[in-house]
Structure 1
């Protein structure tokens, strides 16, 4: 734009003697307008200061050139026309750029709004997730505390059963070697009595020695009211050949278990609700029935002592 003003100034100098006053005034008016435009552009673009200085130098050089030759007037007119066209092209480009910039700005603003909405949604989701994690952490802490309590309770139950086993072993020590054993397995205590200690063959009447053993067991159970007692009757696989109300080994094993329950129930300190009788017949052997010794081991009464797990079950249901 400044170059164009300079060219016009030169043209004014060259043509001042050969143009009409109206043309001169028009050119002079255009020159004044261009100077105003130049000042406005200078105010708007500080980055062009250096360029302006360079153009000023070019302007002075052109002025000297114009003073020394009028032959370049046509070329300068052509330059003016070209510069004018360039100005129009630049203006068009500027308009297009401004429109594109506005479109891009609107698009970016819309995108930023979408990103902001997405960020807020993620913040809400994060807050919800944090709340859920806090609840899970609290639940985990509570479960951990209940688990520790449960482990302590189970350890106490296990210690109690070990003590019960030791107490039974001590109380039944006099029956050692007579077909009576006491052992602990899977948190339970098993008192196993072979039939040679309790019953005659085919009978469910308990002998005096066997009764004494059962009574000793009852004394220990009376001191441990929180124990569930399952009495199981077992036979070998020989078919029952007796007479009377017994039909087979099922009946015999059940009858023998019931008799032991009745002897235990004679101790009034034992809660009958803790006692259960069951007949297993020949179907839970602990030895082979192919030998006489194996058959003798299978003919037995097992008193299975189990700690009551109501409290443990309740805690498990709460976890």
Structure 2
């Protein structure tokens, strides 16, 4: 009986031991599967965390970039407004300059017309048509230039008879303007003067010619001495170079500079413009 009981006990123990090993093996397998799953999940988690960090950094960059774009947009708006204002001012400046240029051109055209009218009036009033007598108006001053061949013989300061006819016409201009002053300028070429012991050089000759003309104007033609100024310029203000005989003849001249007062000069201009 005891033997039978012992045998049953051993059989039960053997069966129990076999079942335990099997369960342990199953548990170990499940543990391994869980560990594998945990490892896989951990890897995925780490990848997700890395992606999260990258997305977070990208988000921060996009926020900053968006903020910069907003600021830049505001600055561009300000710059565009200022640019438009600057362009408008520049256009206004250009318009003002164009207007000034247009006015200056009109003034120059008018000035040329007035000068021409005044010169024509002077020439017609005294009957001057000789090509050796020039009348010009510059900056409110009338210049009457007479070639020396109409006034003097070569190297002389004695006024010729023909010169007195020309000077009579000049005297008419001066006498018509009793408040004007007139400077009589003598000019020579650069050939040294050697023909008279009284004169030292061309400068002396130019002064002598000036005073000789003034004497004719005052003593013979009734011009007031207080209106006249004697001046000798010698050879030092040539019109052209003195290389040829023709050029030297051009430089030998007497110039009478009529110096009107400004208000009277403009009255004269207005009168001539009305005639036009």
1:189-215 per-position Cα deviation (integer Å, ceiling 9, x unaligned) = 864311232345432768522321322
Equivalent of 2:111 in 145, 157, 171: 157
Mapped to 2, the partners of 1:96 and 1:232 lie a distance apart of: 104
1:100-142 per-position Cα deviation (integer Å, ceiling 9, x unaligned) = 1111111222233333334433443443333333222222222
* Greater displacement, 277-286 / 140-149: 277-286
Note the aligned Cα RMSD (angstroms): 4.8
Q: Any conservation in 2 of the 1:219–1:267 contact (CA below 8 Å)? A: yes
Partner of 2:74: 120
> Tell me, what secondary structure is at the counterpart of 1:203?
coil
Matched, 1:97 2:36: no
Q: Any conservation in 2 of the 1:195–1:301 contact (CA below 8 Å)? A: yes
Mapped to 2, the partners of 1:258 and 1:117 lie a distance apart of: 85
Indicate how the Cα distance of structure 1 residues 259 and 151 shifts in structure 2: closer, same or farther if over 3 A, else same: farther
* Greater displacement, 136-145 / 83-92: 83-92
Matched, 1:279 2:233: yes
Indicate how the Cα distance of structure 1 residues 96 and 234 shifts in structure 2: closer, same or farther if over 3 A, else same: same
Matched, 1:209 2:165: yes
Mapped to 2, the partners of 1:78 and 1:276 lie a distance apart of: 134
Mapped to 2, the partners of 1:194 and 1:137 lie a distance apart of: 54
Q: Where does structure 2 lack aligned partners over 5 or more consecutive residues?
A: 1-18, 21-27, 263-276
Equivalent of 2:64 in 87, 90, 110: 110
Mapped to 1, the partners of 2:214 and 2:80 lie a distance apart of: 64
> Tell me, what secondary structure is at the counterpart of 2:69?
helix
**1:164-183 maps to which residues of 2 (within 5 A)?**
164-174=118-128, 176=130, 179-182=132-135
> Tell me, what secondary structure is at the counterpart of 1:193?
strand
Mapped to 2, the partners of 1:126 and 1:306 lie a distance apart of: 58
> Tell me, what secondary structure is at the counterpart of 1:153?
helix
Partner of 1:196: 149
1:218-243 per-position Cα deviation (integer Å, ceiling 9, x unaligned) = 368x49x8xx9886532133333435
Normalised to the residue count of structure 2, the TM-score between the two structures is 0.58
Q: Any conservation in 2 of the 1:230–1:305 contact (CA below 8 Å)? A: yes
**1:1-319 maps to which residues of 2 (within 5 A)?**
82-174=36-128, 176=130, 179-182=132-135, 191-199=144-152, 201-203=155-157, 207-218=163-174, 222=177, 232-240=185-193, 241-244=195-198, 246-254=199-207, 256=209, 279-281=233-235, 284=238, 286=240, 291=245, 295-303=248-256
The number of equivalent residue pairs is: 225
Deviation, structure 1 residue 254: 4.7
Normalised to the residue count of structure 1, the TM-score between the two structures is 0.52
Indicate how the Cα distance of structure 1 residues 267 and 96 shifts in structure 2: closer, same or farther if over 3 A, else same: farther
